[in-house]
Amino acid sequence: MSHYPSRDLHLVGERRSVLDLLQSLLVLELLHPSPELWIVSAWVSDIEVVDNRARQFGTLCPEWPVSWVRLSQVLVSLMERGTTVNLCVNETEHNRHIIDTLSSLAPTGRFVPRRAASLHEKGILGGHFTLDGSMNLTYNGVHVNDEKLWYRTDPQTIAHRRLELYQRWGVI
């Protein structure tokens, strides 16, 4: 039995757990930033991902509004802490907004957009976790659609996933 946390989520009708998981992962990244964060999703929207309405993350990110915080704001905060964000999406026009937003706000060299016409894979990889499955990082992916997700924290799975991404996107 592994001592590394893992979780399989099959989300049918119940949505709060995926948003809670995303918020937790992103806040943990802010507390202990990975050198790089990979977001791979056919479709990505600048969705609300962190609930700061009670200002509970005010000490962590004083610049955040007292409201829901959007994905772009979280990613910019990570890049300001030294994380390189690799955003891999397909070539649909839908993804232009998030790429343009991050390109205009990112510290130099910290945002690497990557596009591929046939991309359908989905996942988020940090230094200490990988979250993979069927969910696009969009409103419908997080709040509406039935999805299946696999959350893993064991170093071997994370290293294997990173190697897959490096090979796929020509990093090595």
The string of pLDDT tens digits covering residues 48-88 is 999 999 999 999 999 999 999 999 999 999 999 999 999 99
* Topology of domain 15-168, CATH: Endonuclease; Chain A (3.30.870)
Q: How far apart are CA 123 and CA 31, in angstroms?
A: 21
Which pLDDT score, from 0 to 100, does residue 2 have?
60
% pLDDT > 90, the chain: 84
Alpha-carbon distance of 170 to 151, in angstroms, equals 25
As a whole number, mean pLDDT of residues 20-38 equals: 97
Quote the CA–CA distance of 73 and 149 in Å, as a whole number.
24
| Over residues 42-51, mean pLDDT | 97
For 94, residues 6+ apart whose C-beta sits below 8 A from its C-beta are 43, 45
pLDDT score recorded for residue 14: 60
92 vs 90: CA distance, rounded Å: 6
Under DSSP, the state recorded for 51 is: E
Query: Does residue 1 have a pLDDT over 80?
Result: no
pTM: 0.93
The pLDDT value given to residue 80:
97
Q: Which positions ≥6 away from 61 have C-beta within 8 Å?
A: 30, 52, 69, 77
* Model confidence band, residue 13 (pLDDT cutoffs 50, 70, 90): low
Residue 6's pLDDT is 78
The answer to whether residue 9 scores a pLDDT higher than 90 is no
Output the CA–CA distances (angstroms, integers) from residue 33 to 43, 90, 116, 132, in the order listed.
24, 26, 27, 19
pLDDT at residue 112 in the model: 98
Give Cα separations from 65 to 5, 25, 46, 77 (angstroms).
32, 19, 15, 13
- The rounded mean pLDDT for the chain is 93
Domain residue extents for the chain: 15-168
* pLDDT band, very low/low/confident/very high, at 15 (cuts 50, 70, 90): low
Q: Which residues of 49-86 are buried (b: 16+ CB within 10 A; e: fewer)?
A: bbebeeeebeeebeebeeeebbbbbbbbbbbbbebbbb
At 119-134, the pLDDT tens digits run 999 999 999 999 999 9
What is each CA distance from 73 to 49, 67, 131, 149, 157, in whole angstroms? 10, 12, 20, 24, 28
